[in-house]
Amino acid sequence: MADAILRLERLSKHFGALRVTNELSLDILRGEVHAIIGPNGAGKTTLISQISGALKPDHGRITFDGRDVTGLSMAQRARLGLARSFQITTVLPDFTVLDNVALAVQARQGHSFRFIKAVARDIGLSKRALQHLEIVGLADRAHMQAGRLSHGEKRSLELAIALATEPKLLLLDEPMAGTGKEETERLVTVLKRLAADYTMLLVEHDMAAVFALADRISVLVYGEVIATGAPADIRTNEKVRKAYLGEEA
């Protein structure tokens, strides 16, 4: 069995008397697409925020790629290869699609900040950025103003920006949110292609997308994982059906 690239040990987070993450332990295996699903209020966003470094847990430990990162900031975790996308847009609407990704490439390479015109003239940055755009199917939009993209295309651009950070783990927070049927299908196709090269932790409400993409699924209810397993096992798990899936299964 593959080793765990991300390990959560007895993770807990409280807001006053409300316990949002409750002694949660979970391993994300290297090379897998692992989906976290659950009803509204289950604690998914709080969990993702703790993993990314946006929130500090009250108790427990987070180990990423063999290193305890519990006390590290979001920026420090990103430099280690933990990339979060889709929760808060990272798109700069007044810049071109290519420039958005080129800036992310520049940041990953550790260069000091340069004005966007200087970035645009850097052939090396532009070439690398274009490669990421090709992966997500946006190469033909490279010179378009990012603000003119459709909602689904902006999601794909956010994914290209995440790829530019050279991640070891892609943390995808509801990538299908707000997308139509065709855009969702296109994103699923892109993510399937990326699954060959990237480990992914996916939080998503679209069950069709989840079952199409995930190698394993964990079900979160009231801050606790009530089941983890292959999609077929989750579909038929009576406890999961009662707590969440219902007719969706």
Rounded-to-integer distance, Cα 194 and Cα 82, Å: 16
CATH number (domain holding residue 63) = 3.40.50.300
Torsion angle of C-alpha atoms 173, 178, 181, 183, degrees rounded to 10: -70
Within a domain: 163? no
Within a domain: 139? no
Within a domain: 155? no
Rounded-to-integer distance, Cα 211 and Cα 219, Å: 13
Within a domain: 215? yes
Rounded-to-integer distance, Cα 194 and Cα 192, Å: 5
Within a domain: 211? yes
Rounded-to-integer distance, Cα 159 and Cα 172, Å: 9
Residue carrying the six token digits 């038929």 = 236
Q: How many domains does the chain have?
A: 1
State residue 213's pLDDT score: 97
Q: Which structural domain range is residue 26 located in?
A: 4-84+170-180+200-248
Within a domain: 187? no
Per-residue pLDDT of the chain (249 residues), as tens digits, is 469 999 999 999 999 888 899 999 999 999 999 999 998 888 998 999 999 999 999 999 999 999 999 999 998 999 999 998 764 456 889 999 999 999 888 877 665 455 555 555 667 788 999 999 999 999 999 999 999 999 889 989 999 999 998 999 999 998 888 888 999 999 999 999 999 999 999 999 899 999 999 999 999 999 999 999 999 999 999 888 887 766 444
CA angle 49, 35, 18 (to 5 degrees): 40
Across the strands, what pairs with 27? Answer: 7
Within a domain: 20? yes
State residue 84's pLDDT score: 87
Within a domain: 161? no
